[in-house]
Structure 1
Amino acid sequence: MSDLEVCESVILVGMPGAGKSTLGVMLAKALAKDFVDTDLLIQLKAHATLQEVLDAEGYLALRQLEEETLLDCDFENHIVATGGSAVYSEKGMAHLKTYGPVVYLDVSLEELRRRIKDYDSRGIAKRPDQSFESLFEERCELYKQYADITVACTGLTLEDTLASVIQKLSERTAQHQR
């Protein structure tokens, strides 16, 4: 059993390709918590992939659906991998923060470019004319705004990133117990 509070959740935010889902599963195993990927919840609610929602209704409809999905969920004792655009919803982020700390997985633009091969078909909620660089700059400010913990992930293996997240969560818990 970790020294993290039993019912506290951990909310992962970051760009598409930052590793939220992959790391989230590993973190859930390490901390004995449930795992949820909000992108999957959105797809279940929409009965469509994120890209299908974007193609049919546009990026603002996808962001609205994401907010509704976040607000409808109870995330107690979970590792929550959010969609990259969750930070556009003040209400959604306020709701998530009631369950536990927000951890920003900070990955460089260059690293994301190496990781993401399907940028145009991945279901990323962005303006049609928006470049990946512009989206990166816009979202990074929001991730920093909501983050309780930031983990610099560029150049780290998944195992090293996991260890860094757990260490920072433990440090945060120790500070709050003082």
Structure 2
Amino acid sequence: MTEEPQTLILVGFMGAGKTTVGREIARQHQSQFLDLDLAIEQKAGMTIPEIFKSEGEAHFRQLEEAVVKESVTFPGVVATGGGVVENEKNRQTLKDSDAVVIYLHGNLEGTIGRLLADGQRPLLQKESTISFFKRWQKRDPLYQEVADYVVETVGKTPARIAAEIVALFSGQADDLTLTTLRSQIDALDRQIFDTIAERIGVVRAVAAYKQKVNLAVRQPERMVSMKANLKADYRQNDNITDDLIDALMATLLEYSMAREEEDIQKGQL
């Protein structure tokens, strides 16, 4: 169990869910909530898109800097803007404070999807995909720099993420580091199953193409060759054994063949 902080600050890329998760933490923990973007809008007397349009990003960052200084002693949960860490003074303010800073870490694909659905993010509207990706790469190590802990968000509802964070500061938590590691395992498990689903989809597409051009759908010799290559590639990795490769590839083959058989019965192959 970790001592309960007076101020809990959430950082992360735009669209990471900081505001939604922050409100949920405040609800579950019966504490106050502060959205820095709303605080900036109140200080400026205009919305953030209006600030960007009329005053520019530099002016927005100045307003943000002032609000960040006020937020580190806020008695509750604080959700920051995605670019707060690009200002070195903000990073120093966060690191020098007694607040606990948690980085909500997601993935780029999910973030872009949420932002496109939102349609209210000025940076996303004016940037190309490449420049947006570069901004992501630039900010990630800065979030890591200021964060006391990282919580993975992939595949989790805001309520689930909030519950994990609340548990860190209650008697129900084993240890903050252990909870963070478990969060990372959860996210990795979902990535594994997403990859498996994608792999089976590609396998089915390959089988359909082979059927179309009159090639043998099943080629067991290729699986044997693949396993041999994998074993050679992971020979020096103590976490990946030959038995694990054999078991996983056998399972993947079994499920892929089952999906192919379903397609055949449906007349899709």
Q: Taking structure 2 as the reference length, what is the TM-score of the superposition? A: 0.56
Q: Say if 1:54 and 1:125, in contact at 8 Å, map to a contact too.
A: no
* Long gaps (5+) in structure 1: 174-178
> In the alignment, residue 99 of structure 2 is paired with which amino acid?
G
Counterpart position of 1:176: none
What's the offset of the Cα at 1:123? 3.6
What's the offset of the Cα at 1:132? 1.6
1:81-124 CA distance string (max 9 Å, x none): 00111112333333345242110000100110121126774244
Q: Say if 1:11 and 1:101, in contact at 8 Å, map to a contact too.
A: yes
* Long gaps (5+) in structure 2: 178-269
- Once the two structures are superposed, the pairs formed by residues 59-78 of structure 1 within 5 Å of their partners are 59-73=57-71, 75-78=73-76
Counterpart position of 2:89: 91
* Matched pairs, number: 171
SS of the residue 2:46 aligns to: coil
Tell me the distance in 1 between the aligned counterparts of 2:134 and 2:154: 19
- Equivalent residue for 2:37, pick from 36, 39, 43: 39
- Once the two structures are superposed, the pairs formed by residues 75-154 of structure 1 within 5 Å of their partners are 75-97=73-95, 98-117=97-116, 121-124=120-123, 131-154=131-154
> In the alignment, residue 115 of structure 1 is paired with which amino acid?
R
SS of the residue 2:116 aligns to: coil
With 93-102 and 136-145 compared, the bigger mean Cα shift is at 93-102
Which structure has the bigger radius of gyration? 2
With 16-25 and 83-92 compared, the bigger mean Cα shift is at 83-92
What's the offset of the Cα at 1:165? 2.1
SS of the residue 1:131 aligns to: helix
Alignment RMSD: 2.7
What's the offset of the Cα at 1:24? 0.4
Q: Taking structure 1 as the reference length, what is the TM-score of the superposition? A: 0.82
Counterpart position of 1:8: 6
What's the offset of the Cα at 1:73? 4.2
Counterpart position of 2:21: 23
The answer to which structure has the higher helix fraction is 2
What's the offset of the Cα at 1:149? 0.8
Tell me the distance in 2 between the aligned counterparts of 1:137 and 1:119: 22
Task: Report the CA distance shift for 1:63/1:54 in structure 2 as closer, same or farther (over 3 A).
Answer: same
Task: Report the CA distance shift for 1:66/1:15 in structure 2 as closer, same or farther (over 3 A).
Answer: same
Task: Report the CA distance shift for 1:127/1:62 in structure 2 as closer, same or farther (over 3 A).
Answer: farther
Tell me the distance in 1 between the aligned counterparts of 2:78 and 2:70: 14
Task: Report the CA distance shift for 1:68/1:125 in structure 2 as closer, same or farther (over 3 A).
Answer: farther
SS of the residue 1:84 aligns to: coil
SS of the residue 1:156 aligns to: coil
1:40-95 CA distance string (max 9 Å, x none): 01011111111111111221221121102212446332100001111123333333
What's the offset of the Cα at 1:126? 10
